[in-house]
Amino acid sequence: MQKVQSTAVRFKVARAIELEPGLVLRSGVYTGTKTRTRVDSIGGVSWTPSQYKLEFTADQLTSMGAQAKPNLIAKKIDVTKFVRLGKLRVA
């Protein structure tokens, strides 16, 4: 049986990172989520590699350089590759 485990984590950003074209995350500390899935098998229990996400409001996205989109309230952005590259550090 699969079980999804999500926990709140803090990310430290030493230098500005371009998350998407035109969307720049400034240096600082941010709160996001770490998610992984438990997989049970005959050989025992294992976990999938962790995935990391940050969520921003429409106003935050605009202040980061994104184009304003009508009816957008919030957006989750997968930052797993930046964690793996060491550009975002899990505190």
Average pLDDT over residues 49-68: 92
- What is the end-to-end Cα distance of the chain in Å, rounded? 30
Q: Answer for the pair 34, 4: CB distance below 8 angstroms, yes or no.
A: no
Average pLDDT over residues 56-68: 90
Helices (H), the chain: 58-63, 80-84
- Is 90 exceeded by the pLDDT of residue 1? no
pLDDT digits (tens, 9 = 90+) for 38-53: 988 888 888 899 999 9
> Is 0.85 surpassed by the pTM of this model?
yes
**Which residue would you say has higher pLDDT here, 41 or 13?**
13
Three-class SS state of 62: helix
CA proximity to 80, closest of 37, 14, 32 = 32
Cβ–Cβ contacts within 10 Å for residue 76, how many? 11
